[in-house]
Chains A and B, each alone.
Chain A
Amino acid sequence: MSTQPSLFTGPIVKAAARDAFVKLNPGTLIRNPVMFVTAIVATLSSVLWIKSLATGEGNPVFEGQLVFWLWLTVLFGNFAEAVAEGRGKAQAASLRATKAELKARLLTGVGDIWEWVPAHQLEKGDEVLVETGDLIPADGEVIAGIASVNEAAITGESAPVIREAGGDRSAVTAGTRVIADEIRVRVTAASGQGFLDRMIALVEGASRQKTPNEIALTILLAGLTLIFLIAVGTLPAFASYAGGTMAVPVLVALFVTLIPTTISGLLSAIGIAGMDRLVRFNVLAKSGRAVEAAGDIDTLLLDKTGTITIGDRQATEFKPLPGISEVELIAAARLASLADETPEGRSIVVLADEKAPGGEAMPTSAEPIAFTSQTRVSGLQIGERSLVKGAVDAVLRRLPDAADAEALRRIADDIARTGGTPLAVADGARLLGVVHLKDIVKAGIRERFGELRRMGIKTVMITGDNPLTAASIAAESGVDDFLAEATPEDKLALIRREQDGGKLVAMCGDGTNDAPALAQANVGVAMNTGTQAAREAGNMVDLDSDPTKLIEIVGLGKQLLMTRGALTTFSISNDVAKYFAILPAIFVALYPGLGALNVMALTSPESAILSAIIFNAIIIPLLVPLALKGVKYRAADAGSLLARNLGIYGLGGLIAPFVGIKLIDLAVSGLNLA
C-alpha cells in the first residue's frame, strides 16, 4: 500500500463521474432500494414532463427542472459510491498486473525436474520451486529451504523478510519476490482464492457483501420509504375531498425529499471507505462483518511482548553479593555480555558503560561461550577465565559448590517479586551477583488502556511469564486483567469464557498454535509474518505485523458505525424542514390559511419545491467527504459520544436544511428559475 491516493484526485473523480452513469443500470441500482425508488420516480416524472412538453399543458419549465434534479439525486448517490470505489481501483489494477505475470516452476514429482506453468493453473497441494528473482506464484508454505523475500508488493515495506521451512515463518504470499536463495513451496490456496485475489476484490469493493448492520439499516430506510409512500400517496384523495387536485410532479418532489436519499446515497460509500481506511492502515479484513464486529469489541486480548512492553527486557540494575564490589560485578557482567548480540545482552553493556565508563575492549584471545538450551548460560572465555551469565538456576548448576548460593537466591527472589528477571553472573567459580532485567512498558500505553476503559473495553494481557512478573507488569501498564503462563489452550478457554458472558473478544496472534483462538475470537488479527494457519484462522491480517494495531482497529470499526448512525440521524432530521418548505407550497391552493406554515418565507410555491429538491440532491455530494473520512472519533463513553453526535448531527440536521433551503430559494428566485 505504498501509494495512498488522496481523497479526491482528478482521475478518480473523472472515473467516478463516468461510473455514476454506468451505475444507473437497474440491476445495480436495486441493491439500494431507496435510490432504486428514486430512479423509478425520476423516470415517471421524465415521461410526464415529455408529455407536458408535447401537449403544452402544465408548467414544462418547472417540471423540467424537477426532473433534472431528481436524476441528479440518483447520480450523486452513484457518484458517492463510485468515488469510494475509485480509490481502491488503482491499487487493484496494479495488483492485477502483478497477478497476470505470475508463472510457476511446477515440480513434476521426479527429483528436481520442473516445468513452467501459468500460475492460474496451480492447484492446492502442488509443489513449486521458487528461485532467486522469481515472484512467488501462489500462496503457500515453504517445505524446504530458506530464502529472503521482498514483500513490498503486499505490505509496502521494502526490507526483505526471511521465510523458511518449519516454524512460524513458513507462509509465503503470491506476488512477493524471492531476492536470495531458493525455496520449495507447497501451494495452499488455489488460484482465485489466494491472498492477492482477496486483496484485489477487497480494494475494488467487488466482493463487498452488505454487512449485518448495513442490512438492518437498509431495511429501516426501505421501511421509512414505504411510510412516506403511504403519506404522500394518500394525498390526492385527501386533496379531492378538499375540492382540489395534486399535480404529480409536486407529489413526486415531496416524496423524494422525504425518503432518506441522503443516507441511502452515502451508505455504500461509508462501508467501502471504512474498509479502505483499514487497508490504508495496512490491515486486510476478510469481510466487512469483521470490521463491524471490531466496533463491538468488549474484551481485548493483548500479547504482552511487543504490545504492552517494548518487546525486550532491559538491564536496569546490578546487585552484587555481599563482599563483592559493584565495580567488579559491572566489569564481569559487561565482559560476559560483550559477545552477546541479543537485546538483553546489549542492554547490559549499555548499562555497564553508563555506570562505569571506560570498560575494557574485547580481548583478542577471548572466545564467546554460546547460549545453548542445555547450559542456558552465555558468556566469554578469556584463556582459563570463564565469565558467564544466565538464569540463576543454570549458573548455580554450573557451580554446585559456590559459597554464596543462598544469598544469591535471596537477591534473585527479591527481583522476581517485583516482576523483574534476575540474571546471575559468575567469574570462574566465584559468584558475583545478579543483573536485574526488566520489561519496559511502552510509553503512553497506560493512557491508551484508560481510553479503552472509558469506552467500556476490558484489556487482558496475555503472557508466558509467571503470575508474579505478570501481575507487576499488569500493575505498571494499567491493563485490566492478565493471563499468566498462558498456553494457547488457556487463551482459547479465556475467549470462550468471555463469549459465554455475552462479550465480543478481539485478539491477535501469529503462530499455528494461535489458530484455534484466532478462529474463536470475534475479531482475530493474524500477523502477516505468521504462519499460513494463523492467517487462515483470523478474520483480519495485519500486513505490518504490529500487534498494537488491535487498539486502532477497534477505533476504526466504531468510526464506521458512528458515521452510518450520524448520517442516518442527519438524513431523518432534515425532513422536518422539507415539510415546512413543501407542505405549505402544495396546500396553500386548497386552504390559503396553510400559507402560515411557510415559516421560511420562501418566495413562491414553485421555488419552495424546487429549493427543497435541490437541497436534497446537493447535500449528497457535500457529505461525500464526511462519508469517506468518517465522523470524528474520539475515545469516550457511550453517553458522551451520544450527546455529542446527537448535538452535531441530530440538531444540526434539524437546522441546516432550514438555512440551506432558504439560501437556495433566494438563488432560485434571484435567477428567476421558478
Chain B
Amino acid sequence: MTLSGWMLILVFIGLIIACARPVGAVLFRLYDDRPLPLEAGLYHLIGAGPREQSWIGYAAAVLAFNVAGIALLFTILKLQNVLPLNPQGFGGMDSWLAFNTAVSFVTNTNWQNYGGETTLSHFSQMAGLTVQNFLSAATGIAVAFAFIRAFARQGGGTGVATIGNFWTDVTRVTLYLLLPACMVLTIAYVAMGVPQTLTASVNATTVEGARQTIALGPVASQLAIKMLGTNGGGFFNVNSAHPFENPTALSNLLQMLTIFVLGAGLTLTFGKAVGNLRQGWTILAAMLALFLVGVTVIYWAEAAGNPVHHALGLAGGNMEGKEVRFGLAATALFAAVTTAASCGAVIGMHDSLVPLGGLVTMFNMQLGEVIVGGVGAGFYGILIYAILSVFVAGLMVGRTPEYVGKKIEAREMKLAVIAIAILPLFILGLTAIATVAAPGLAGPLAKGPHGFSEILYAYSSAVANNGSAFGGLTGNTPFYNITLAIGMFVGRFGAILPALAIAGGLAGKKKLPDGPGSFPTTGVLWIGLLAAIILIVGGLTFLPSLALGPIADHFQVAAGTLN
C-alpha cells in the first residue's frame, strides 16, 4: 500500500462528503411539492396531474412502467437489424439474450451477457439501453422519495396514507436532474477524450502492419448516465477499463464520484425532509464506515499480493487483471465503489482479485447494495436495515421502537423481513440450482472454490442489481440468461414493493416528538449499531457460502495451490 494510494481513497471519500449536502439540496427541491418551472404545462400536455397515490397505486405505476420498459427494450433489441443507426449491420439479438438484457437494464442491474461493440447497433445503445439507464435510475430515486415521505409526513394515525405520485417523481428526476447533469458530464467526458459519434468502427492498420478494428460510437453520453445512474452497463465489453470509456485518471475519478454522488446526496435529502440533517449524516456515516472497511480490505489484500505469484518470484501486489494505467489503489477503490454502489462498471477484472478482495466485492453486493447503493435503492435498502436495527436494539431502551418519530410495529417488521429475506432466498437458491444442474455447472471456467465463486458472484450481482461480472462465467446460455433475469427482476421489485408498502404504512402514522426517552438514531453509537447489524445479518446469511467460495479459495492460495 502506498501513501498516494491512501490519498486517493481519502480524497475520494472527502469529495463525496463535500458533495453530499449540495446534491441533497438539489434532490430535495425535486422531492418537495413546490412546482418546478414549466412543470404544470408539461403535465397538462401529457394529461397527468400531481395526484397523490396510495402505496398500492404507486407500486402499480412502478410495475407498469418498468414492465412496459422491458417489453420496449426487448423489441428494440430483437429488431435492431431493421431499425436505423446500425452502421455495422448487426443482426437482431437472440431472444433469451434480449430478454436477459431487457430485464437487466430496466432493473438498473446492467448485467451484460453480450459484448456491446460487437453486438449492438447505435440505435439499440442509445434509444434502447441509455433510455432505460435514465428511467431505471429515476425509478429508484422516485421510490426513495416515496420512502422519505413516509417519515417526513405527519399521518392521521389511522391506516395508510398517500406517498406522492410516481409519474411526477419520475418525470422530475429525469428531466430536471438526470438529463441536464448528463449533458454536462457528456461534454466533460468528450473533453477528456471519450468518443461521441454515430459513425461505424474504424478499420486501421497498425504500425506493425496488423489490421485492427477500432470500435466507435456514442460512448460519452452512455458513460455519463451509466455512472450517475449506477447502471454500469458499458458501451464496450471491457467497460471502463477501455481507454475510450475511461481515458484519464481524471475521468476515472469523475466516474467514481458520479457513482456515489446521488446515493450519498439522498441521505441528506432525507435529513432535510425530516427536519434533522443529522439523521441524514448518520446514515451516510454508516455507509461510508462500511465502505472504508471494504476498500481497506480490498486494497490491503491486493497490495499483499498472491503468494503463488510470490513463490514464482513475482514480488509485489496482485496486478493480474488490472488496467496498468490506473494501478492497484485506483482499481481497488473502483472495485469497492462499483460493488458497494450497485453500479457494476469495472476497470479491472474482479475474477482476478485475490480471494479476499473478491470476497469483499461479493459481500458488498450480498449486503443488499446498501453501502451508498444503487441510486434510490441503496437509500431505501439501508433504511430497511435501520428499521430492523431499531427494532432489535430499540427495545433495549424500554420503548416500542421508533425510527425518526414513526413507530415500528408488526407490519413494518413483516415487510422488512420479506425485503431482507428475498436476497438470500434468490442469491443462494439460484446458486444452489446452478451448482447441481448440468447447464449451471457448464458455466464457470474455474473449478473448485473459485468456480463456485464465479457462480455465487453472478447471482449476487444479479439479485442485488449490481451487474458487474466476476468474469470466467459463460453467461450467454439459456439457463443463465433465464435464471439471472429472474434474479434481477425479483431482486429489484422484491425490494421495491415491500419498501413502498412500508412507506404507505409509516406515512399514515403519527409522528412522535423526539425526546430524551426516544431511541437515539444519530451519533456514533447508532452508526456502529447499524453497521454491526448490517454486517451480522449479512454475514450470518452468507458466511457458509462465502466459506466454500472465496474463503476456501484464500486458504488454498495461501497454501500455494491453484485450481
In the bound complex, do residue A240 and residue B435 qualify as a contact, i.e. CB atoms below 8 Å apart?
yes
A 553-576 to B, binary, CB cutoff 8 A, 1 in contact else 0: 000011101101110110011011
Contact A220 to B392, CB < 8 A, known contacts A558-B399, A593-B559, A638-B519: yes
In the bound complex, do residue A594 and residue B525 qualify as a contact, i.e. CB atoms below 8 Å apart?
no
Would you list 26 pairs from A and B whose C-beta atoms are within 8 A, ordered by A residue?
A219-B417, A226-B421, A227-B424, A230-B424, A231-B541, A232-B544, A238-B548, A240-B436, A242-B548, A501-B513, A503-B513, A557-B398, A561-B399, A565-B392, A573-B536, A579-B540, A590-B552, A591-B449, A593-B555, A593-B559, A637-B517, A638-B519, A639-B520, A639-B525, A642-B397, A645-B396
- Report B503-540 residues with CB < 8 Å from chain A CB: 510-513, 515-520, 523, 525, 529, 532, 536-537, 539-540
Nearest residue (CB) in A for B545 is A238
Contact A230 to B396, CB < 8 A, known contacts A219-B410, A583-B547, A639-B520: no
Determine if B429 is an interface residue (Cβ-Cβ < 8 Å). yes
Residues of A contacting B420 with CB < 8 Å? Answer: 223, 227
Determine if A215 is an interface residue (Cβ-Cβ < 8 Å). yes
Determine if B292 is an interface residue (Cβ-Cβ < 8 Å). no
In the bound complex, do residue A220 and residue B417 qualify as a contact, i.e. CB atoms below 8 Å apart?
yes
A643 CB, min distance to chain B CBs, angstroms: 6
Determine if A382 is an interface residue (Cβ-Cβ < 8 Å). no
B236 CB, min distance to chain A CBs, angstroms: 32
Q: CA A42 – CA B500 in complex, angstroms? A: 39
Q: CA A387 – CA B435 in complex, angstroms? A: 104
Residues of A contacting B512 with CB < 8 Å? Answer: 298, 502-503
Q: CA A641 – CA B398 in complex, angstroms? A: 9
In the bound complex, do residue B400 and residue A646 qualify as a contact, i.e. CB atoms below 8 Å apart?
no
Q: CA A222 – CA B416 in complex, angstroms? A: 12
Q: CA A576 – CA B533 in complex, angstroms? A: 12
B172 CB, min distance to chain A CBs, angstroms: 30
Determine if B334 is an interface residue (Cβ-Cβ < 8 Å). no
A 208-236 to B, binary, CB cutoff 8 A, 1 in contact else 0: 00001101110110111011101111110
Residues of A contacting B511 with CB < 8 Å? Answer: 502
Determine if A127 is an interface residue (Cβ-Cβ < 8 Å). no
A608 CB, min distance to chain B CBs, angstroms: 14
In the bound complex, do residue A234 and residue B432 qualify as a contact, i.e. CB atoms below 8 Å apart?
yes
B 542-561 to A, binary, CB cutoff 8 A, 1 in contact else 0: 11110110011011101100
Q: Which of B525, B551, B556 contacts A597 (CB 8 A)?
A: B551
Contact A231 to B395, CB < 8 A, known contacts A237-B433, A587-B552: no
Determine if A457 is an interface residue (Cβ-Cβ < 8 Å). yes
Residues of B contacting A213 with CB < 8 Å? Answer: 395, 400, 409
Residues of chain B at the chain A interface (Cβ within 8 Å): 388, 391-400, 405, 408-410, 412-414, 417-418, 420-421, 424-425, 428-429, 431-433, 435-436, 441, 448-449, 451-452, 455, 510-513, 515-520, 523, 525, 529, 532, 536-537, 539-545, 547-548, 551-552, 554-556, 558-559
Residues of A contacting B518 with CB < 8 Å? Answer: 456, 638
In the bound complex, do residue B395 and residue A220 qualify as a contact, i.e. CB atoms below 8 Å apart?
no
In the bound complex, do residue A591 and residue B556 qualify as a contact, i.e. CB atoms below 8 Å apart?
yes
Q: CA A150 – CA B525 in complex, angstroms? A: 54
B409 CB, min distance to chain A CBs, angstroms: 5
Q: CA A114 – CA B451 in complex, angstroms? A: 91
A324 CB, min distance to chain B CBs, angstroms: 53
In the bound complex, do residue A587 and residue B421 qualify as a contact, i.e. CB atoms below 8 Å apart?
no
In the bound complex, do residue B392 and residue A258 qualify as a contact, i.e. CB atoms below 8 Å apart?
no
* Extra inter-chain contacts (4) besides given A223-B417, A633-B398, A638-B520, CB under 8 Å: A238-B545, A564-B395, A638-B397, A641-B398
Q: Main secondary structure on chain A at its contact with chain B? A: helix
Q: CA A237 – CA B431 in complex, angstroms? A: 9
In the bound complex, do residue A641 and residue B548 qualify as a contact, i.e. CB atoms below 8 Å apart?
no
In the bound complex, do residue B517 and residue A638 qualify as a contact, i.e. CB atoms below 8 Å apart?
yes
In the bound complex, do residue B536 and residue A572 qualify as a contact, i.e. CB atoms below 8 Å apart?
yes
Q: CA A223 – CA B107 in complex, angstroms? A: 26
Q: CA A656 – CA B520 in complex, angstroms? A: 27
In the bound complex, do residue A231 and residue B428 qualify as a contact, i.e. CB atoms below 8 Å apart?
yes
In the bound complex, do residue B548 and residue A455 qualify as a contact, i.e. CB atoms below 8 Å apart?
no
Contact A241 to B398, CB < 8 A, known contacts A216-B391, A228-B540, A569-B392: no
Q: CA A233 – CA B537 in complex, angstroms? A: 17
Determine if A296 is an interface residue (Cβ-Cβ < 8 Å). yes
In the bound complex, do residue A558 and residue B398 qualify as a contact, i.e. CB atoms below 8 Å apart?
yes
- Report A509-545 residues with CB < 8 Å from chain B CB: none
Output the residue of B394, B397, B511, B513 with the most chain A CB within 10 A.
Answer: B397
Q: CA A611 – CA B244 in complex, angstroms? A: 58
**List of 6 A-B pairs having minimum Cβ-Cβ separation, nearest first:** A456-B517, A593-B555, A565-B395, A558-B398, A223-B417, A237-B432
Q: CA A531 – CA B443 in complex, angstroms? A: 78
Interface residues of A, count at CB 8 A: 73
Determine if A649 is an interface residue (Cβ-Cβ < 8 Å). yes
Q: CA A77 – CA B441 in complex, angstroms? A: 43
Output the residue of B432, B523, B529, B542 with the most chain A CB within 10 A.
Answer: B432
Nearest residue (CB) in A for B408 is A216
Residues of B contacting A601 with CB < 8 Å? Answer: none
Q: CA A217 – CA B401 in complex, angstroms? A: 11
Q: CA A298 – CA B512 in complex, angstroms? A: 10
Q: CA A93 – CA B420 in complex, angstroms? A: 47
Determine if A596 is an interface residue (Cβ-Cβ < 8 Å). yes
Q: Which of A235, A643, A650 contacts B544 (CB 8 A)?
A: A235
Residues of A contacting B396 with CB < 8 Å? Answer: 562, 565-566, 569, 641-642, 645-646, 649
In the bound complex, do residue A227 and residue B525 qualify as a contact, i.e. CB atoms below 8 Å apart?
no
Residues of B contacting A217 with CB < 8 Å? Answer: 391, 395, 413
Q: CA A564 – CA B401 in complex, angstroms? A: 12
A 179-218 to B, binary, CB cutoff 8 A, 1 in contact else 0: 0000000000000000000000000000000001101110
Q: CA A242 – CA B549 in complex, angstroms? A: 10
Nearest residue (CB) in A for B417 is A223
In the bound complex, do residue B428 and residue A454 qualify as a contact, i.e. CB atoms below 8 Å apart?
no
Determine if A379 is an interface residue (Cβ-Cβ < 8 Å). no
Q: CA A300 – CA B399 in complex, angstroms? A: 15
Residues of A contacting B536 with CB < 8 Å? Answer: 572-573, 575-576
Q: CA A217 – CA B544 in complex, angstroms? A: 26
In the bound complex, do residue A591 and residue B548 qualify as a contact, i.e. CB atoms below 8 Å apart?
yes
Nearest residue (CB) in A for B425 is A230
Residues of A contacting B397 with CB < 8 Å? Answer: 558, 562, 565, 638, 641-642, 645
Q: CA A201 – CA B246 in complex, angstroms? A: 73
Nearest residue (CB) in B for A241 is B435
Q: CA A292 – CA B554 in complex, angstroms? A: 49
In the bound complex, do residue A593 and residue B552 qualify as a contact, i.e. CB atoms below 8 Å apart?
yes
Q: CA A587 – CA B548 in complex, angstroms? A: 8
Residues of B contacting A593 with CB < 8 Å? Answer: 552, 554-556, 558-559
In the bound complex, do residue A587 and residue B547 qualify as a contact, i.e. CB atoms below 8 Å apart?
yes
A568 CB, min distance to chain B CBs, angstroms: 6
Q: Which of A220, A234, A298, A649 contacts B413 (CB 8 A)?
A: A220
Residues of A contacting B543 with CB < 8 Å? Answer: 579, 583
Residues of A contacting B417 with CB < 8 Å? Answer: 219-220, 222-224, 226
Nearest residue (CB) in B for A294 is B398
Nearest residue (CB) in B for A293 is B400
Contact A223 to B421, CB < 8 A, known contacts A241-B452, A583-B547: yes
Residues of B contacting A235 with CB < 8 Å? Answer: 544
Determine if A657 is an interface residue (Cβ-Cβ < 8 Å). no
In the bound complex, do residue A590 and residue B545 qualify as a contact, i.e. CB atoms below 8 Å apart?
no
Q: CA A279 – CA B388 in complex, angstroms? A: 32
Q: CA A242 – CA B444 in complex, angstroms? A: 13
In the bound complex, do residue A502 and residue B405 qualify as a contact, i.e. CB atoms below 8 Å apart?
yes
Residues of A contacting B542 with CB < 8 Å? Answer: 231
- Report A345-366 residues with CB < 8 Å from chain B CB: none
B316 CB, min distance to chain A CBs, angstroms: 24
Residues of B contacting A650 with CB < 8 Å? Answer: 393, 532
In the bound complex, do residue A216 and residue B410 qualify as a contact, i.e. CB atoms below 8 Å apart?
yes
Residues of B contacting A254 with CB < 8 Å? Answer: 544
